[in-house]
Amino acid sequence: MSKIPEERIQLLNLCPENPKGKYILYWMDASVRQKNNSALEYAIELGIEHKKGVIVLYCLHTKGRLSSRRRARFALESLRELEKTLAARGIQLAVVYGTAQELVPSFCVSACALVMDCAYLREDRIVRNEIARNVSCTCIQVEDNVVVPVETASSHADYSAKSFRPKLAANLNRFLTLPDRNVPPVSTLNVNLMKLDLSDFDRIENQLTFPYDVATAIDFPGGETMADQRWRRFLKYGLARYDQRRNPAASVTSALGPYLSFGCISPVEILIRLREILKDDYLISCTDEQRELLPLNIAAFEDEILTRRELAVNFVWFTPQYDTFEGLPRWAQKTLELRSADDREYIFSFSEMKNGKTCDCYWNLTQLELVKNGWLPPHTRMYWGKQPLLWTREPAEAFRYALRLNNIYQLDGLSPGGFAGVSWCYGLHDFPFHARPVWGYIRPMTRHPKLPMDDPDCLSINQID
């Protein structure tokens, strides 16, 4: 009997299992890991039931997330590690050039059943539905990159973290379980498959045309081991100081964003571990004073990784226009449109922003750091995402520029967190502040407490809650 909660499992078509199939196929897309991966474990459970082995397919193409070389490299590094760890369980990983729509149906011809993981952006949903329609075996989706499945948590786009938090809390406990770890009854390592040799990334990448040829993020090598190391390092050195998270120089946040967004680590595993910490907090390196604050810091981190992260998923799932200015709350669109008539001191083009050539030297440095390394600390992102409003005539243009920069350069970009994060800068999941020029009722963020207006209500980068 499977330990995977039923609400994580969804039948996507009405086709029967193919009894003549040679293996169970897991099309891996959003959960690039073998540890605590419910979709993988579900495929193995089916394999045990049918006495078949499991093949994992990953489709490598430059549409969507892997349109940036930076993200493709991160995926390849993760896959190279995965190939070995899956092989140790008798599971063959096949990384193949092509889109999932082209490849999955052809791999399904010899499959008993198809299992896939769940992703939330528009294209992800279209691809999954199209595949389910085009294959002739049963197709099952397992949702394991959130703690509470998106439609269990809420039935609509939630207005704010305040309304969403209690909904998660009401459902949480039954989803805090990890899947059993099994081994398929038959190995698939000797099945002959045409697939990529993962030993030479440059050769693989040379076969691809990247719409965004952005340099590799060397500080963020992909893979489960790196995700695990970062998580442990954060537990030891970051968590007890998480109250300093608004100071980018303190470097106390987990920097797990890219790993979570590629599915290299399970959010359920993180949450379970977090709840155990107080029992064995010797794992944490901190002063007595920090130990006292530990429960508060644990709650603050849990709120980010659970509430904020899953609110972002709720946003893209239930908001068809999540990638446009029209996806913002009505009050935010209205106030920004009204303020588009206000004078702007400087106007910069997308290219000037992209190249860090604005009037704000701090913003420029941040942008150049993003171009180079593919990651910004959380609080810096807020400042960075809001400033284009000051430098464009139309607020919709500012939104578009910020989102485009985020989607191109951020290693964890083109994900629910990216769309919700940029939208937050323009009013999403936030509330109206005192009106001021250009910003309207949007929460302003400036470099100095008294800029751009000499107004005590104008918050500085270190004062935002």
Ligand X SMILES: Cc1cc2nc3c(=O)[nH]c(=O)nc-3n(C[C@H](O)[C@H](O)[C@H](O)COP(=O)(O)OP(=O)(O)OC[C@H]3O[C@@H](n4cnc5c(N)ncnc54)[C@H](O)[C@@H]3O)c2cc1C
Task: Work out the burial of residue 462: count CB atoms within 10 Å of its CB; fewer than 13 is exposed, 13-18 middle, 19 or more buried.
Answer: exposed
Residue choice 8, 61, 309, 339 for contact with ligand X (CB under 6 A): 309
Asked if 141 is part of the footprint of ligand X (rule: CB under 6 A), the reply reads no
Nearer to ligand X, 94 or 402 (CB): 402
Residues 144, 115: contact at Cβ < 8 Å? no
Range 385-404, binding ligand X (CB under 6 A): 385
Q: Does 81 bind ligand X (CB under 6 A)?
A: no
68 with 214: CB under 8 angstroms? yes
**How many alpha carbons fall within 13 Å on the CB side of residue 44?**
24
Q: Of 81-89, 156-164, 349-357, 415-423, which part binds ligand X (CB under 6 A)?
A: 415-423
* Cα dist from 76 to 197, 202, 225, 385, 453, whole Å: 11, 10, 14, 29, 48
Nearer to ligand X, 335 or 410 (CB): 410
Q: What track of x and - describes contact with ligand X for positions 258 through 297 (by CB under 6 A)?
A: --xx------------------------------------
Residue closer to ligand X, measured from CB, 185 or 356: 356
* One of 43, 108, 240, 382 touching ligand X (CB under 6 A): 382
Closest CA to 3 of 182, 264, 232, 212: 182
Q: Which residues are CB-contacts of 27 (< 8 A; sequence separation ≥ 6)?
A: 57, 58, 59, 100, 104, 107, 114, 115, 116, 117, 131
* Number of chain positions touching ligand X (CB under 6 A): 29
Kindly state whether residue 124 participates in binding ligand X, applying the rule CB under 6 A: no
Q: Which is nearer to ligand X, 48 or 274 (CB)?
A: 274
Distance CA 233, CA 55 (A): 33
Cis preceding linkage at 185, omega within 30: no
Q: Which two tokens stand for residue 333?
A: 């669109």
Binder of ligand X out of 4, 44, 94, 255 (CB under 6 A): 255
Nearer to ligand X, 105 or 257 (CB): 257
Query: Residues with Cβ < 8 Å from 83, sequence gap 6 or more?
Result: 93, 95, 198
Shortest CB 252 distance to ligand X, Å:
8
Residues that bind ligand X (CB under 6 A): 245, 253-257, 260-261, 304-305, 308-309, 312, 378, 381-382, 385, 406, 410, 412-413, 415, 417-418, 420-422, 424-425
